[in-house]
Chain A
Amino acid sequence: MRNAVLMRNIVLLLLVAGALAAAPGTTAAAELQPAGAELVRLNAAAARDAAVDAGVPAADADLIISRAAQRKFDAQTIERLLAAAESAAKKGLPVRPVVDRIEQGLAKNVPAERIAAAAARLAENLGRARSLVGSVISGGVPVTDAAGRAEAIEAVARALEAAVAGSDVEQIGKAVQARKGSLALFNRAVDSAAHLAVNGVSPSRATDHVRAALDRGSSERDLAAREKRFSESLTHGEKPDDAVAAFDRDRAMDRMYKRSDQGRDSRTGMGGRRR
């Protein structure tokens, strides 16, 4: 009987102890999320400082950490993201596109691995783009300001991402040099080639198309209009190659009409302008 009472008391004590132990455990679990986020922030602080020291804007570094912590990324992943921006900054490359890509990926709920890979790829292409833009500038295309140069590097990096070859970018640069065009025209032309390539035209054909437009004296505005028309064609269900072919057809028609006008002028004196 005494043993039974003793056993009952022991069981009761164990239940009370278990209940007491469970209560703080529940509290700890509830507080884990913010404490974990804070811990991630603390662990990423060193990577943040290194990135900012390298030239990444502090506001952007903080935004990346904040969004990554919201998505419960671990500190190592955040370090990888910041490292891509830091790497670009250390090499003197434009940081804005890399930072923008990371922020964009975080906002769009892209998996961390893909964001890090895309940011690193962009940083690498920016490095290649810098040397390509350097050769275009040294070839005689004037630079008005540092911002224009950064825009050109970004445009070329985006074209490289769209599988436009470096040699094709050089060809576009030579076409711009040949007509003593500006760096803004070069940017526009590279952008146009990337636009066509991204939308399904083979990169080499896209480059040829843009070069031909430059050779004919197309301005930035002309290239923009052409891009818009191309987008509209795709919206109406036309195939990318067909849309480009339509431009070429139009061009051939223009040439034919011009020749026809000249012929009328020289042979009959009719249909042309009176001199």
Chain B
Amino acid sequence: MKNERSIIHLTLDGDLPAEERVRLLKRIESDPVLSKEYHALAEALGTLGREGRREPPPGFTRSVLARLPRRKAPLRERMMKLFFGGRVLRWNLASAVAVLLIVALAAVLATTRQSNNDTVTVRLNVQAPNARQVAVAGDFNKWDPGVNVMSRENGAWTIELPLRPGVYAYMFIVDNEQWITDPRAETHRDDGFGNRNAVMRVRI
């Protein structure tokens, strides 16, 4: 039977000369068992031929390799592979869009933080040794004398103001009643009411 099956395989594979092939086919046809097996195999081959070649699914090789028993490589080899081993980046459109969104979000956050940091801390001080309270009011606080009250430091009244770049007019208010001009200001300008406002130019 073993010999007969090899005859069938030789015939189906087409490895025999024509005369031999004819003789063997006659032999197969004469034997019902061989004939049945021959036709079953011939049909199977035909089906395989019609289906065509199929590509393995993605990750097939990796999954096969993953199932193989692992040999634990030495530490040096593993480190070399970690740092210098080639890698293949597998991606799809969804992950690419996600990465793009993260980058865009980070850029927006960075810009926002930058704009918040666009203020410059300006330090103002004035000598008013007999004052009980000194405040500064200007167009940066809508001229409200109650917002930026200065503190006394070594005999002088001082305050630090976080301001955006620009030009600001201001005056000091002593004891909540007397408005005085900063004599040390960069420049001064008329306030429209006969007094002079101090002017500071804030630059980055």
Nearest A residue to B137, CB-CB: A107
- A103-B196 Cα distance, complex, nearest whole Å: 16
State how many angstroms separate the Cβ of B102 from the closest Cβ of chain A: 32
Provide the residues of chain A in CB contact with B185, threshold 8 Å: 231
Given A63-B142, A224-B201, answer yes or no on A105-B193 (Cβ-Cβ < 8 Å): yes
- Check A194–B137 contact: CB distance below 8 A: no
- Check B190–A162 contact: CB distance below 8 A: yes
- Report which residue of B179, B185, B187, B189 has the largest number of chain A beta carbons within 10 angstroms of its beta carbon: B187
Given A63-B142, A107-B145, answer yes or no on A228-B187 (Cβ-Cβ < 8 Å): yes
- A161-B196 Cα distance, complex, nearest whole Å: 13
Nearest B residue to A228, CB-CB: B186
- Report which residue of A103, A108, A158 has the largest number of chain B beta carbons within 10 angstroms of its beta carbon: A108
Provide the residues of chain B in CB contact with A227, threshold 8 Å: 186-187
In the complex, A235 has a CB within 8 A of chain B: yes
In the complex, B127 has a CB within 8 A of chain A: no
In the complex, B21 has a CB within 8 A of chain A: no
Q: Pick the contact of B196 from A63, A107, A198, A224 — CB < 8 Å?
A: A198
- Check A195–B187 contact: CB distance below 8 A: yes
Number of interface residues of B (CB under 8 A): 21
In the complex, B162 has a CB within 8 A of chain A: no
Provide the residues of chain B in CB contact with A121, threshold 8 Å: 192
Provide the residues of chain A in CB contact with B183, threshold 8 Å: 235
Provide the residues of chain B in CB contact with A101, threshold 8 Å: 191-192
Nearest A residue to B146, CB-CB: A107
- A103-B201 Cα distance, complex, nearest whole Å: 21
Taking CB atoms and an 8 Å cut-off, the chain A residues in 95-144 that contact chain B are 100-101, 103-108, 110, 114-115, 118, 121-122
- Check A108–B190 contact: CB distance below 8 A: no
Provide the residues of chain B in CB contact with A158, threshold 8 Å: 189-190
- Check A108–B188 contact: CB distance below 8 A: no
Provide the residues of chain A in CB contact with B179, threshold 8 Å: 108
- Check A199–B144 contact: CB distance below 8 A: no
Q: Pick the contact of A161 from B171, B188, B192 — CB < 8 Å?
A: B192
Taking CB atoms and an 8 Å cut-off, the chain B residues in 110-159 that contact chain A are 137, 139, 142-145
Provide the residues of chain A in CB contact with B196, threshold 8 Å: 198
Taking CB atoms and an 8 Å cut-off, the chain A residues in 146-167 that contact chain B are 158, 161-162
Q: Pick the contact of B193 from A114, A162, A224 — CB < 8 Å?
A: A114
- Check B143–A161 contact: CB distance below 8 A: no
Provide the residues of chain A in CB contact with B171, threshold 8 Å: 108
- A263-B190 Cα distance, complex, nearest whole Å: 46
Nearest A residue to B196, CB-CB: A198
Provide the residues of chain B in CB contact with A114, threshold 8 Å: 193
State how many angstroms separate the Cβ of A46 from the closest Cβ of chain B: 23
- Check B188–A198 contact: CB distance below 8 A: yes
Given A108-B195, A198-B196, A224-B201, answer yes or no on A103-B189 (Cβ-Cβ < 8 Å): no
- Check B188–A118 contact: CB distance below 8 A: no
Q: Pick the contact of B143 from A104, A231, A235 — CB < 8 Å?
A: A104
Provide the residues of chain B in CB contact with A122, threshold 8 Å: 192
- Check A107–B187 contact: CB distance below 8 A: no
Nearest A residue to B187, CB-CB: A227
- A114-B195 Cα distance, complex, nearest whole Å: 13
Residues of chain A touching chain B, judged by Cβ–Cβ distance below 8 Å, are 60, 63, 100-101, 103-108, 110, 114-115, 118, 121-122, 158, 161-162, 194-195, 198-199, 224, 227-228, 231, 235
| A–B Cβ pairs within 8 angstroms, 30 of them | A63-B142, A100-B139, A100-B142, A101-B192, A104-B143, A104-B191, A104-B192, A104-B193, A105-B193, A107-B142, A107-B144, A108-B171, A108-B193, A115-B193, A118-B193, A121-B192, A161-B190, A195-B187, A195-B188, A195-B189, A198-B188, A198-B189, A198-B196, A199-B188, A224-B201, A227-B187, A228-B186, A231-B186, A231-B188, A235-B183
Residues of chain B touching chain A, judged by Cβ–Cβ distance below 8 Å, are 137, 139, 142-145, 171, 179, 183, 185-193, 195-196, 201
Q: Which 3 A-B pairs have the closest CB atoms?
A: A107-B143, A118-B192, A104-B143
- Beyond A103-B143, A105-B192, A162-B190, list 19 extra A-B contacts (CB 8 Å): A100-B139, A104-B143, A104-B193, A106-B143, A107-B143, A107-B144, A107-B145, A108-B191, A108-B195, A118-B192, A121-B192, A158-B189, A161-B190, A195-B189, A198-B190, A224-B201, A227-B187, A228-B187, A231-B185
